[in-house]
Amino acid sequence: MSSKLSNRLKSILDEDRKVLSKNSERDLKKKLADIMSSYFSIDKRKVRINIVKTNYQSEYKLTADMPIKKSALDKEK
């Protein structure tokens, strides 16, 4: 039971810290994937983004995880 409550609390806190709405986040992921796919072969379904507050309350940090297919890197050489 405590695990269930802990997960629920984590979920609430995560939602509270969100900077973008779900639609805006989905749009940002699509646009980032479109831009990056012009340089690399990526699986757009596996794009993940994370936006968090830094130690300074008015600053945020964006990280993006986009697996690049190895064959795309081999072509660049």
Please state the domain count of the chain.
Answer: 1
Cα separation of 47 and 70, whole Å? Answer: 16
**DSSP character string of 8-58:** HHHHHHHHHT-SS-HHHHHHHHHHHHHHHHTTS-B-GGG-EEEEEE-SSTT
Residue 72 has pLDDT above 70, yes or no: no
**How many residues does the structure list for the chain?**
77
Query: For the whole prediction, is pTM greater than 0.75?
Result: no
Q: Are 47 and 33 in contact (CB under 8 A)?
A: yes
User: Does residue 37 sit within a domain?
Assistant: yes
Residue 10 falls inside a structural domain: no
Residue range(s) defining the domain that contains residue 65: 20-70
Asked whether residue 51 is assigned to any structural domain, the reply reads: yes
Question: Does residue 1 sit within a domain?
Answer: no
- Compare 32 and 72 and report the one with higher pLDDT: 32
CA of residue 67 relative to chain centroid, distance: 12
When pLDDT is averaged across residues 59-76 and rounded to a whole number, the result is 78
| Position 33 in a domain | yes
pLDDT, tens digit, 9 for 90 and up, residues 10-62: 776 666 566 788 888 889 999 999 999 988 889 888 999 888 877 776 788 88
Q: Assess if residue 40 is contained within a domain.
A: yes
